[in-house]
Structure 1
């Protein structure tokens, strides 16, 4: 049985622990900077509680390491696990800044394919089927891609200053989805952000509502819509429009029953209240892919370079929002802009 060391016993760590069990792997060791949280986690899962990340990484029976700690620790833990000869999976984003993300991939060198970045939405069944259909030419040449991601409610206010901002924290998933769907890089990006949900988010230096438009290397158009509030629930949709048709990956619903009468023309209610519900299946599929990668010694389907490029787009979007101008991009991920004063 494949053994996993989990670094980070917080909310996302618990999501991964459940997925590890569902995937038929074994959670061998766990470490968290909060010893009480680690102990509670160990008692619940049966994993050995370690007093350091290095001890968890090197614990007997560990084949792979899953990093689910705070973003500022990601790079050092990825490198520590890779240096120990382990396959690594790391929650998004790969790093808190573009410079740190660059340090990570430069230090990894030819080991970038041994690092699996946790963009779990690629493993959602509907999104994956849409992607396969687009790549298979079912709608002809893809011309426009629209990605909508809206949370049901904002995160706690204390999270805002340490989140890195909406583009780096929330929209980074959508930047990865765009690259995955397109199969090519983005060459131009423009972002607009506003504060429509909670003025306190603005006072803390972030936006809660944003729209990004992008152009790919071959001229495809991409629109991403984000909001920290959707009163009707967790809203996750992708629309791919092509020369011969359109494909939509819609919000899942509890049933397929629709009501048509004098006062209703309505689809069924969506059942997902947040990402834990909406993406339960994708977290499991993601872990299954990681376990397969460990067992086969193969390449990561979402590697460290993918993590870096998503961070590159997030950084450029942040700058565009701050300066009010479009940003030209280098497909190699080298910054083509000056940091605003």
Structure 2
């Protein structure tokens, strides 16, 4: 098994989780961390001394890139993604970057051009593609077991909102949360979203509205074959972290996320499913998927296994749908989704 040296830029909430996963992934011998807060990088590195990889912190991204890493994982703030992706590509190493490529589609396109011009290997972290339930849904649909789809319903609901300071810079609920649903819509169905009609509401903290966002939203999406998909999201789901996907087909219906940790309860007498307790965070709900995503990136760096990570063009296409949903939310009318050239 190769002894890889991976680098991780950004060790905030998601970055610290990635660090813990990388440090215990087969094939990784060394992990070097960098963060705008060097003290935080050192603290995270010190907390991972029990893993199978040697973990250390360095004083910045330039030092990280000079440390001889074989691959770069980016989990920094969104605004830093374009610069870090370019730096990794220019260093000639594979890159795995948390979604999105950039804060908006317009600033993503030059990044795609840079990657293509230099033949870079870049993948984007859409972890649901590595969740067992979503993968089974894709397999079943591709195998024809569901027939043709007449309706798709996707749900992403957080148990409680993040800090308002984060929401103010998140780009909006559709870009922050629903972009995952837009990605799996395209990935599973193989179709493009051509129109979005969105609505939103604010019944929770009024500060969310004051920073220009909504706490709950719904988008009706029309796919290029006429299939209808409904995507819902909320910051206030007291039952728990609820992420589901329902595929209703001419031959059968399949529901992703229907397990004993599902954040719902039945109104029917004598029904004890789900037994609970419900998931409370995205990190808990997708813990196995995040580990599988890192393992897939390690295989990509090694040049082994199937490369089924999300490509940057697909990530930007999902972001384009999120942009259209946000635009529809503001304008109150259906918005056409322009195809990605």
Q: Do both share a fold (TM > 0.5)? A: yes
SS class of match (1:240): strand
**For the structure 1 residues 322 and 85, does the alpha-carbon distance in structure 2 shift closer, same or farther, using more than 3 Å as the test?**
same
Rounded to whole Å, the distance in 2 between the matches of 1:260 and 1:177 is: 30
Instruction: Tell me what 1:224 maps to.
Output: 231
**Aligned positions of 1:276-291 closer than 5 A:** 276-291=283-298
8 Å contact kept, 1:74–1:94: yes
SS class of match (1:140): coil
In structure 2, stretches of 5+ residues that fail to align are: 49-53
Match of 1:268 among 259, 275, 286: 275
Rounded to whole Å, the distance in 1 between the matches of 2:188 and 2:226 is: 14
Instruction: Tell me what 2:213 maps to.
Output: 206
Rounded to whole Å, the distance in 2 between the matches of 1:134 and 1:18 is: 34
Rounded to whole Å, the distance in 1 between the matches of 2:40 and 2:91 is: 25
SS class of match (1:41): helix
In structure 1, stretches of 5+ residues that fail to align are: 334-341
Instruction: Tell me what 2:6 maps to.
Output: 4
Instruction: Tell me what 1:181 maps to.
Output: 188
Deviation at 1:56, TM superposition (A): 0.8
Rounded to whole Å, the distance in 2 between the matches of 1:260 and 1:207 is: 29
Relative to the length of structure 2, the TM-score reads 0.91
Aligned length: 330
Match of 1:18 among 20, 29, 41: 20
Rounded to whole Å, the distance in 2 between the matches of 1:5 and 1:325 is: 44
Rounded to whole Å, the distance in 1 between the matches of 2:222 and 2:153 is: 12
SS class of match (2:169): helix
Instruction: Tell me what 1:336 maps to.
Output: none
Structure 1 residues 286-305: Cα deviation after superposition (integer angstroms, max 9, x where no partner): 01111111111775631110
Deviation at 1:261, TM superposition (A): 10
SS class of match (2:309): coil
8 Å contact kept, 2:240–2:281: yes
C-alpha RMSD over aligned residues: 2.2
Instruction: Tell me what 1:64 maps to.
Output: 71
**For the structure 1 residues 253 and 115, does the alpha-carbon distance in structure 2 shift closer, same or farther, using more than 3 Å as the test?**
same
Deviation at 1:275, TM superposition (A): 1.0
SS class of match (2:174): helix
Q: Which moved more, 1:19-28 or 1:271-280?
A: 19-28
SS class of match (2:260): coil
Relative to the length of structure 1, the TM-score reads 0.91
Rounded to whole Å, the distance in 1 between the matches of 2:82 and 2:133 is: 31
Match of 1:49 among 54, 57, 68: 57
SS class of match (1:330): coil
Match of 1:119 among 113, 126, 130: 126
**For the structure 1 residues 131 and 264, does the alpha-carbon distance in structure 2 shift closer, same or farther, using more than 3 Å as the test?**
closer
**Aligned positions of 1:1-341 closer than 5 A:** 1-24=3-26, 25-45=28-48, 46-60=54-68, 62-109=69-116, 114-253=121-260, 265-296=272-303, 299=307, 301-332=309-340
